[in-house]
Amino acid sequence: MKKTRKSMPSGFSPGNTTATEPPAGLIKDMMSLLQAGRLELLEQKARETIRGWPGHFLGWKALGNVLLMQGRAADALDPLAHAARMAPHDAQTHLNLGNALVELGRFAEAEASYREALACKPDYVQAHSNLGITLLNLGRLTEAEASYREALALKPDFAEAHNNLGNTLLERERLEEAEASYRQALALKPDFAEAHNNLGNVLSKRKRLAEAEASFREALTRKPGYPQAHSGLGDVLLEAGRLTEAMACYHKAIDCDPLFIQAHVGLDNALKKLTPMWHVPMMNDGMRNDAYFAALSAAVTPETKVLEIGTGSGLLAMMAARLGARQVTTCEAVTAIA
């Protein structure tokens, strides 16, 4: 289960300004570029603002926000930190600084930034929710739950907070409550792929495999390149004994993300289940193997052609090859051990 749902930068707003702020026209231009999604031009405007008004936090804030929106959290960190120092009462800047720190895995520092945001604005819903994500990653589950519930008290229709509350409850093995949270998220946002996936996880834990399968398939309908959902579906199919289908799901997960460890583990488990184990005691039967080796030693010459059929281990073929047979062929009907 993925513990965090990425926190996008909070929308740009001028925040607390002073008499020496950049002209209103420049601020309006930046707002228009943000709304149009023209992030490269917005970055240029932000840098122009810094050059013209280096002592005002607005350019630094805008630059940090746009870099974060472009997925450049490491680059966003310094401008956002600078803006936060210049405007310590601007809650949005503290929030986005926290978001950048989360993206970089610096959760303890992110917690401090989110708490600064809440000190500035105690009813800041997104800050409560993002603080919950951070606390979940820090393993402080009781506090994470409290943060999500604060967010939901302020905004009951916040689907992402319901989903993240479900993640925390799942971590705490409160499965029935987690399921209810995911279902509430989906009631508010039916196309929420992550909530469908997480509902699949909790249903799988509750051994409701048919429902779990349906949830994972719903997630994949909405987000086909979702490795967690492919792998989760594979886990359900594996538990149901549908090994070939499970392997196909694990392969799809690995195609989406070659480094997704859970899919590799699942695929390995499926392969083990596909592999019959009847031949293992035979391979470890030293008396039997010594007798076969003695017999083959007497029969095999450099001109011998050896055909081994259906013994599973290929052990006799390896013996014949070691004894110098000219040609060795082995065949096995069971594909997994051929």
For CATH 1.25.40.10, list the domain ranges present in the chain: 1-155, 156-274
The CATH code belonging to domain 279-337 is: 3.40.50.150
Percentage of the chain lying above the pLDDT 70 cut = 90
Token readout for 47 is: 């840098």
The whole-angstrom separation of Cα 26 and Cα 10 is 20
State the amino acid at position 251 in one-letter form: H
The lowest-confidence range among 62-66, 120-124, 251-255 is: 62-66
The whole-angstrom separation of Cα 310 and Cα 330 is 8
The lowest-confidence range among 151-155, 233-237, 277-281 is: 277-281
Q: What pLDDT was estimated at residue 249?
A: 98
Q: Which of 115, 122, 111, 165 is nearest to 141 (CA)?
A: 165
- Asked if the model's pLDDT at residue 217 lies above 60, the reply is yes
The lowest-confidence range among 231-235, 301-305, 329-333 is: 329-333
- Asked if the model's pLDDT at residue 317 lies above 90, the reply is no
In three-state secondary structure terms, 219 is helix
The lowest-confidence range among 174-188, 232-246, 305-319 is: 305-319
DSSP 21: P
The whole-angstrom separation of Cα 172 and Cα 143 is 12
Q: What pLDDT was estimated at residue 336?
A: 60
Q: What pLDDT was estimated at residue 335?
A: 64
Placement of tokens 């450099």 in the chain:
302
> In angstroms, how far is the first alpha carbon of the chain from the final one?
35
In three-state secondary structure terms, 123 is coil
Phi, psi angles (nearest 5°) of residue 207: 65, 25
Beta bridge partners of 309: 331
The pLDDT-based confidence of 195 (bands split at 50, 70, 90) is very high
Percentage of the chain lying above the pLDDT 90 cut = 67
Q: What pLDDT was estimated at residue 310?
A: 66
Taking the whole predicted model, whether its pTM rises above 0.75 is answered as yes
According to CATH, the topology of domain 156-274 is 1.25.40
- Alpha helices, H only, the chain: 24-36, 39-52, 57-69, 73-86, 91-103, 107-120, 125-137, 141-154, 159-171, 175-188, 193-205, 209-222, 227-239, 243-256, 261-274, 279-283, 286-299, 315-322
CA 253 vs CA 5, 210, 212, 216: distances in Å: 19, 20, 17, 12
Q: What pLDDT was estimated at residue 89?
A: 96
- Asked if the model's pLDDT at residue 19 lies above 50, the reply is no
For CATH 3.40.50.150, list the domain ranges present in the chain: 279-337
Tell whether the torsion through CA atoms of 91, 97, 102 and 106 is positive or negative.
Answer: negative
The pLDDT-based confidence of 224 (bands split at 50, 70, 90) is very high
The CATH code belonging to domain 1-155 is: 1.25.40.10
Q: What pLDDT was estimated at residue 108?
A: 97
Placement of tokens 């050896």 in the chain:
306
The lowest-confidence range among 58-62, 118-122, 134-138, 247-251 is: 58-62
- Asked if the model's pLDDT at residue 324 lies above 50, the reply is yes
Q: For 26-63, how does the pLDDT look when each residue is reduced to its tens digit (9 = 90+)? A: 888 888 888 888 888 888 888 988 888 888 888 899 99
- Asked if the model's pLDDT at residue 183 lies above 80, the reply is yes
